[in-house]
Amino acid sequence: MDQSLEPGDQGLNGVAATAGVARSARVGHRGRVTSRLRLWQLALPATLFLSVYFFAPLLMLFWWSVRAPEGRGLTLGNFGTLLSDPFFFQTLGLSLRLSFEVTAVTLFLGFPLAYLYTKVGSSLRLVILFVTLLPLLTSAVVRSFGWIVLLGKQGLVNQGLMSLGLTDSPVRLLFSLDGVRVALAQVQLPFMLLPLINALEQLDPSLEPAAVSLGASRFQAVLRVTLPLAMPGMIAGAILNFALTISAFITPAMVGGGSFIVMPTLVYQSAIITLQWPRAATTALILLVVAMAVVWTGAAVTRRWQYGPRQGGANA
Amino acid sequence: MSGVTRRAVLIGGAAGTAALVAGRAWGQQKELIANTYGGGWEQGHRQAIAEPIEKKTGAKVILISMLANELVARVKAAGGSRPPVDVALVDDGPFLTAIKEEVFLKLPMDKLPNAAKLYPQYKPKEPYGIPIGASVIGIAYNAKKLKTVPAAWEDLWKPEYKGKVGLCTPASTLGTVALLSFAKAKGGGETKIEPGFEAVKSLLPSVGSIASSPAALQTLLERGEVDIAPMWHSNTLLLKGKGTGMEFVFPKEGGIAGLAWLAVTKAGNLDLALAYLNQGLSPESQTLLATPPFFFGPTVQGIKVESQLRGVVPAAPEDLARLIQIDWTKINPARPEWINRWNREIKV
């Protein structure tokens, strides 16, 4: 079930990966034609693989999205039907909101943790990595079952709240957006943490002491020196988290139940339950375009952040 | 170096891709792939059908886990190429869809001698598959926690069940049938679903959770998140066996039978596939599938079930008489709209 829907996010990552490879080949070896050719050949297996397993299915997605729901012929009617439907936009809006919120939560949790990681010894580093990566080692179904046990009316969280006297009756956590946010943030934390650690470790360790020696408090030093310099890592993590959340299918279905639906659920219903493939393809394509627009905006902001201010400074 | 590397890289890439594509092409001579829905289904079909067939024919039977809707979608997606299974297990709605999509073979019924003993009610209208087991949708309730025993669908609205009722979305067969049952109880039916939606909306204040699949609903009942719900008899009896206090009742209006069908795809291996189907209808297989922990209602006549299961597992003509028939040929075309409407209108 997840395999049939996950290609969406792998696809986004795939595009990012291909773009990255192409860019580094261009930038790193400008002017050396022969070595550039050889580097290009290194990308050949991946290109071949992506052509078969990503670009060909993507073409089929385009093809299905313009096919008439009944009978033969080509049409843009599928897009018209969906784009004139307020419920479709409501679902798209919910998916976008959920993705931004989960990204914000992982950023909020991830930055302090990544910062801590760079300041502690190697054994504690291992513990942080192990604990954050652990959820990735279990299947989404098992993990979701765990959340049912934890978040349910009779679950550990509610029992704890009630025995502490914080609430009289169980709080509704399971089958709510809150539950889905928590569950998604947990499993996706590593995708925020790892780029952040990568970004923080590249910083010159003498920057913070320098800021402190010039009169900043330690907090100010982190806030005004480290945090801005870690921005590329934050945006990389945010892009990953956004792409993963907007295409997440199992967690919203298991932890969210049937009380609200997100875009991947709509795609699943049309593709698998009702066999309305043109509708499924159109829904998936619109989701893909919206997600890519957000990701590209994020990438553009990163480039701006990395090169823009510096160039501006040089000119001034 | 570059020459060797280039060749190695190219060969490696091509071989990897080819291996992924070819995958199961080897050794298809004496091999049969069938799907089940996993869990008790897989265990039951392995013991009752796959193992006897392996013994008799020397062939290898591979059981994979795939739900009916997904299976039909995948067989359809395979188009002219080899579908993912030789024998498909599907329930009523997807079975009819698959026939319409022309993905199953018309069966030579004379090569299925055991099919002669099928209950007349269960006989296929067109020979595209054989029913392997009957399940009933009724009311599951936790006898340890609820004082009043429910007797009819309308009892779900009773104030004492407030907050304890569970439902399943119509994206599943269970949810579709429950919605239709509510509609029928309120004067609607397959072509008039409006009363069903009105009923669900008036039930919402009592609903604790809406699950997206029967498996999820089973978890909710087991965890005590909800205590009463429309449910399959087999899931309910499985929970009862775990000591949860779960009991199953046929609602006063009648339970609804869902049949699980075995059908053959256009994957070749017809003889082996027919042997598999015929084995499934044999008295020994049907008897085994009707016992705990499987509880599948026999589809052929003359199968006896244990006394404590009588009246719960449909196994006798009088049990069948207590079932109400629903028309999937009318449900299937309307179902996308039901799902669509549920997405929009039903929120807890």
Q: What pLDDT digit, counting tens, does each position of A59-72 carry?
A: 999 999 999 887 67
Question: Across the interface, do A154 and B223 touch by the CB < 8 Å criterion?
Answer: yes
A271 touches chain B (CB under 8 A): yes
Shortest Cα–Cα distance, A275 to chain B (Å): 7
Task: Give chain A's mean pLDDT.
Answer: 84
Question: Across the interface, do A257 and B211 touch by the CB < 8 Å criterion?
Answer: yes
| Nearest CB to B343; choose among A48, A175, A261 | A261
Tell me where in chain B the CATH 3.40.190.10 domain(s) lie: 28-134+258-324, 136-256+326-345
* Interface test mutation site (partner A, options B74, B172, B219, B343, max chain A beta carbons within 10 A): B343
Q: Concatenated DSSP letters for B162-185?
A: TT-EEEE-TTSHHHHHHHHHHHHH
Report the residue of chain A nearest B71, measured CA to CA.
Answer: A272
Contact A185, A105 (CB under 8 A): yes
Tokens of B336: 């996308």
Question: Across the interface, do A153 and B225 touch by the CB < 8 Å criterion?
Answer: yes
**CB-CB neighbors (< 8 A) of A70 in chain B:** none
Rounded distance between C-alpha atoms, residue A216 and residue A218, angstroms: 6
Query: What pLDDT shows up at residue A35?
Result: 61
- For residue A216, how far is the Cα from the chain centroid? 34
What homologous superfamily is domain A83-306 in, according to CATH? MetI-like (1.10.3720.10)
The sign of the dihedral angle between the CA atoms of A175, A178, A182, A185 is positive
Question: Across the interface, do A41 and B9 touch by the CB < 8 Å criterion?
Answer: yes
Query: What pLDDT shows up at residue B314?
Result: 79
Contact B166, B229 (CB under 8 A): yes
Number of residue pairs across A and B with CB atoms under 8 Å? 93
Query: What pLDDT shows up at residue B266?
Result: 86
Q: Is pLDDT above 60 for A15?
A: no
Task: With 0.90 as the threshold, say if the pTM is over it.
Answer: no
Mark out chain B residues that contact chain A at CB-CB < 8 A. Answer: 2, 6, 9-10, 12-14, 16-17, 67, 69-70, 72-73, 76, 97, 101, 167-169, 171, 175, 208-213, 216, 219-220, 223-225, 335-336, 339, 343-344, 347-348
Least confident of A173-182, B32-41, B236-245, B306-315: B306-315
Surface-to-core class of residue B4, CB atoms within 10 Å of its CB (0-12 exposed, 13-18 middle, 19+ buried):
exposed
What homologous superfamily is domain B28-134+258-324 in, according to CATH? Periplasmic binding protein-like II (3.40.190.10)
The per-residue b/e assignment along B284-308, b for 16 or more CB within 10 angstroms, e otherwise, is ebbbbbbeeebbbbbbbbebebeee
Model confidence over B267-277: pLDDT tens digits?
778 999 999 99
Model confidence over B88-132: pLDDT tens digits?
999 999 999 999 988 999 999 999 999 999 999 889 989 999 999
What single letter denotes the amino acid at residue B127?
P
**CB-CB neighbors (< 8 A) of A145 in chain B:** 219
> Among residues of chain A, what percentage have pLDDT more than 70?
84
Task: Give chain B's mean pLDDT.
Answer: 88
Query: What pLDDT shows up at residue B230?
Result: 97
Question: Across the interface, do B169 and A258 touch by the CB < 8 Å criterion?
Answer: yes
Q: What is the arithmetic mean of pLDDT over A274-291? A: 94
Residue A67, strand partner residues: A74
Residue B264, strand partner residues: B87
Tokens of B282: 């044999």
Report the residue of chain B nearest A46, measured CA to CA.
Answer: B13
Indicate the class that CATH gives domain B136-256+326-345: alpha beta
Under the banding of pLDDT at 50, 70 and 90, the label for residue B198 is very high
Rounded distance between C-alpha atoms, residue B115 and residue A60, angstroms: 42
Rounded distance between C-alpha atoms, residue A311 and residue B171, angstroms: 55
Shortest Cα–Cα distance, B308 to chain A (Å): 31
Question: Across the interface, do B69 and A273 touch by the CB < 8 Å criterion?
Answer: yes
Rounded distance between C-alpha atoms, residue B255 and residue B152, angstroms: 10
Tokens of A301: 């902001």
Model confidence over B27-41: pLDDT tens digits?
445 899 999 998 889
DSSP state of B81: S
A273 touches chain B (CB under 8 A): yes
| Nearest CB to A38; choose among B2, B17, B171 | B2
Shortest Cα–Cα distance, A179 to chain B (Å): 13
What is the domain partition of chain A in residue ranges? 83-306
Q: Is pLDDT above 60 for B25?
A: no
Question: Across the interface, do A275 and B167 touch by the CB < 8 Å criterion?
Answer: no
| Nearest CB to A52; choose among B17, B70, B73 | B17
- ipTM value > 0.85: no
DSSP state of A109: H
- For residue B295, which of B283, B285, B282, B309 has the smallest C-alpha distance? B309
Under the banding of pLDDT at 50, 70 and 90, the label for residue B20 is very low
> Among residues of chain A, what percentage have pLDDT more than 90?
55
Contact A88, A219 (CB under 8 A): no
Shortest Cα–Cα distance, B276 to chain A (Å): 26
Rounded distance between C-alpha atoms, residue B103 and residue B263, angstroms: 10
Q: How many CB atoms lie within 10 A of CB A305?
A: 16
Tokens of A191: 């995708």
- CB within 8 A of A134, min separation 6: which ones? none
Contact B297, B290 (CB under 8 A): yes
Tokens 């009463």 sit on residue:
B228
Under the banding of pLDDT at 50, 70 and 90, the label for residue B3 is very low
A171 touches chain B (CB under 8 A): no
The per-residue b/e assignment along A231-267, b for 16 or more CB within 10 angstroms, e otherwise, is ebbbbbbbbbbbbbbbbbbbbbbbbbbbbbbbbbbbb
Helices (H), B79-210: 92-100, 173-185, 194-203
Under the banding of pLDDT at 50, 70 and 90, the label for residue A12 is very low
Q: What is the arithmetic mean of pLDDT over B68-80? A: 89
**CB-CB neighbors (< 8 A) of B23 in chain A:** none
